[in-house]
Amino acid sequence: MSNNYSAMEKSKADTSYIFRQSHPSVADLRYGALHRRFADVGCGVAAIYNVMLFLGKPQAIPDIIREAESLKMPWLFGMFGTKPRSLGRYFDKKGVAYMQTDSAARFREGLKTACCAIICAWNEPKTNGIHFFAVIRTAEGCRSLNQYSNCDSATDFSPDEISEKRFITGYLFGQ
């Protein structure tokens, strides 16, 4: 873990959402046995963090990283971030109920009643790997967190954005 994660940054990050994993407060944290930069491979951890915060069970980013590593969630030692179907290990350990599905249609249907969710999808093009991001339900509708690398706030999200070709798996909470 990087030693430049100051107490002030930790405090700020632990009480606000991660809108982009390249934010200076978390970008240089390290993940997996290969110690890859959070900015490059931390999307799965950021999605867990955002969902736990939304559910009122905030967890510190370094604690999520340690837990994910102990649960063997990094993909090829963290080279490619987090294994798509491994997030359930974290939520099981924390006693958080969820439904996981590999069907985009079932995910879209479940998103109608879920309070929040995590999506894992192929980037465009697929050779750029995968990406996890959180979706939360607000009074205004669904909003995504860390869906794009250049955002400093939540962005509008429509279930219609979930493409069958790009969808890998999803986790639904609070149904």
For 7-173, CATH gives 3.90.70.10
CA 9 to each of CA 23, 27, 28, 74, 146: distance values in angstroms, whole numbers, following the listed order = 11, 11, 12, 24, 18
Residue 9 has pLDDT above 60, yes or no: no
What the block records as the tokens of 101 is 């599905």
- For residues 32 and 149, the model is more confident at 32
Bigger pLDDT: 76 vs 40: 40
Average pLDDT value over all residues in the chain: 87
pLDDT digits (tens, 9 = 90+) for 37-51: 898 899 999 999 999
How many alpha carbons fall within 13 Å on the CB side of residue 138? 13
**pLDDT tens digits, one per residue of 99-127:** 999 999 999 999 999 999 999 999 886 66
Angle between helices 61-70 and 87-94 (to 10 degrees): 110
Give pLDDT, residue 7.
36
Residue 6's CB: how many other CB atoms inside 10 A? 10
**Domains of the chain, residue spans:** 7-173
Render pLDDT for 83-94 as a digit per residue (tens, 0 to 9).
999 999 999 999
